[in-house]
Structure 1
Amino acid sequence: MIVAGDGVEVDGAGSPSNPVVISAKPAPLVVADSSCITLSGGGTTAAPLIAAPRLDPAPGNLLACGPGGLLVAGGTGGTVVTGCGLTGDGSPGAPVSAAVSAWPHTCSLDDEGGLVYCDSTGALRSEPRGRASFVEDGVNKTYPVTAVPAASNTLVETRTLKITNPDPCREAFVIIEVELDVDFTLPPNSGAASQIGSNSVNYLDNRGNGTSASVHGVATMVFRRSIPAGGTLVEPLNIRLGRGSGGATYNRIETYMRAFVFVL
């Protein structure tokens, strides 16, 4: 009696006309898919084993199966086609990189170079652009004839200029220029002084024998301020008069306030 074991097939009765034939019996082929490969077929001539890549259908996936094999979609022969701002084809000899220019300055690129950012849509963005703005206001006001105060530094009026930082990101550097012009009437042996804030800018007197009308001189000051990002500054111009003597009076005060705003 002949019994077939694993992998062996026995046929025939063992007679001259029906001899026993022992042959190898192929074991069944067990296949299993992976997350990246799908297998099909039984491994026979009639049903050969076939492996196919499984491509993730998620949006943005660039991997594709072409006639020559796997490649990055949009590429040729497995390489990447680049456009504006990029160079290289993704191969070892020509990796994809940014197309940059040589740093033309003597200062350090590491210390002084600006940065590039990626926005919410995936677009590259530079640092905020520089801004410059200008605002001014002029007032020419007449008054009833008024005695110049005898005490120094007497505040007679405050005028203001509203200055806004147009940049929502960065502090503004502001250069402010102010002008003050006061018309005095000076009888003989009289005098009067004017001030911008705490700074005395003019003292005028009359040592003659007749009255001098509309005596004036324009005084200018320049100073700086800073304004936080998106903020507003209300800059005061405190007009002060004093040292009035001999019946000195004033009847007109003209001012200009100008602001140059820079965000760099």
Structure 2
Amino acid sequence: MAQFGCGGPRCTCLVTAGPGVVVTGNGSAGAPYVVEAGVAPVSCDDVRPCLSAGPGATYDPDTGVIGAEPTVVEAGDRVTVTGDGTPADPYVVAADPVSCDDVRPCFSAGPGATYDPDTGVIGAERTVVEAGTNVTVTGDGTAADPYVVNSAGGDGVATSVEGGDGVTVTGAGTVTDPYVVSAEPPVTGCGLTGDGTAGAPLAVATAAWPYDCPPEDSGTVVVCDTDGVLRGEPRGQVSFVSYSETRDYPDLEVPTGTTPTDVDTPFTLEVTNPDPCLPALVLVEREADVDFDLPVGAGAGYAQDTDEMVYLRNTGTTAIQDTHVQTTKLYQHTLSLAPGATATVNFPVRLSRGAGGATYNRIQVFIRALLISQ
């Protein structure tokens, strides 16, 4: 302490104890100051400002009194609360008793039951059993006297069971000899096998498939008609139609070009498939014949469509009158003509390569169609 102006045998510095602190010694080497805390008592005024009240508690900083806020319990509908919540007189929460008047409106009677909301009495409706034809009913339906239903009527007539077509009835209708109703096995004819039982059901008698192709791909269809008769697919049909026409001309000049040229409207034939069930393949045969007059050195030709069929030339020394050659062609006109449908077969006869004054005076055609339904 001498560094700060203290001299002599003790220090002249002043050390004062504050609240809760004790100072001893005089600051000399032999009796240095000793500062101690906690020895002096803490006053209530020092502690009380450090505390405050939280939820459910009370605190008075002037007196230091700490208390608990009382729990509040209120009674709701149909509930009572007694006591003040202390250990000596705790709260007691009790439910009010339920009265019959409160409960009875909650119930009502359903099928087979009765209910009186004024008295609360629940009962069961009595089952009613009435006797029908050839039946008698005795008893009142109670446990002591239950209903007894018998099959014999009041006139004593017993139940009668008769067998109809294909049915047999045996027995007398009693407990020891009851009625037994049995079906007679059906009588089968051609095309059916089995007797109609579970072990041998009725079935169509079929033969083995003798072909290499699977029946699922190539087999025909068998159906039952409106008369209950099995029928196969319709048979195919073959039909034929023919047409012929001749047209005369006043010695007209044959076209000179090398490309066949129309000299008249085409000849036509309407072909109708007469089969009501199956489509038809249509094969057509066409014939043409043209009469030419050919002076010396003249030439002429004719074609079916664009196919030149005949070319004639006069290489002699005299004129040729009404020379002609008849040609024919066969081709597939329609692969599948629908049942009842109609197709038009056109036949244009065309002329070409007329030279040297060649003329024509007649064209004759034949159109024949073969229809094969399949």
TM-score (norm 1): 0.72
- 2:188 maps to amino acid: T
AA matched with 1:114: T
Count of aligned residue pairs for this structure pair: 218
Out of 235, 252, 258, the residue aligned to residue 129 of structure 1 is: 235
| Equivalent residue in structure 1 for 2:262, among 155, 159, 170 | 155
1:97 to 189, 203, 212: 203
Match for 2:244: what amino acid? G
Q: Distance in 1 between matches of 2:169 and 2:149?
A: 28
| Residue ranges of structure 2 left out of the alignment (5+ in a row) | 1-143, 172-179
Which residue of structure 2 aligns with residue 232 of structure 1? Answer: 342
**Which residue number corresponds to residue 37 of structure 1?**
none
Equivalent in the alignment of 1:5 = none
Aligned to 1:70: 181
- Equivalent residues in 2 for 1:39-118 (5 A)? 40-41=151-152, 64-67=167-170, 69-72=180-183, 78-118=184-224
Higher strand share: 1
Give the alignment's TM-score, normalised by structure 2. Answer: 0.52
Question: Aligned residue for 1:119?
Answer: 225
CA deviations 1:141-200 (Å, max 9, x no partner) are 433222112233221232111211012233210100001111111112211110111222
Residue identity over aligned pairs, in percent, reads 39
Residue 12 of structure 1 aligns with which residue? none
Residue in 2 that maps onto 1:36: none
Whether the 8 Å contact between 2:161 and 2:169 is mirrored in structure 1 is no
2:276 aligns with 168
Which of the pair has more CA radius of gyration?
2
Please state whether the residue corresponding to 1:143 is helix, strand or coil: strand
Structure with the largest fraction of helix: 2
Instruction: Please state how far the C-alpha of 1:48 moved relative to its aligned partner.
Output: 11
Match of 1:29 in 2: 148
* One-letter amino acid matched to 2:366: Y
Match in the other structure for 1:190 = 298
The answer to whether the aligner puts 1:258 opposite 2:368 as a matched pair is yes
Equivalent AA in structure 2 for residue 101 of structure 1: A
Q: Distance in 2 between matches of 1:205 and 1:193?
A: 9
- Aligned equivalents of 2:222 and 2:165: distance in 1? 25
CA RMSD of aligned residues (A): 2.9
Q: Distance in 2 between matches of 1:197 and 1:141?
A: 17
Larger RCO: Structure 1 or Structure 2 (Cα < 8 Å, ≥ 6 residues apart)? 1
Mapped contact 1:191–1:243 kept (Cα < 8 A)? yes
Letter of the 1:153 partner, please give it. Answer: P
Q: Does 2:327 match 1:219?
A: yes
CA distance in 1, matches of 2:366, 2:241: 11
Q: What SS is found at the alignment partner of 1:110?
A: helix
Give the distance between the partners of 1:225 and 1:111, measured in 2 at CA.
Answer: 28
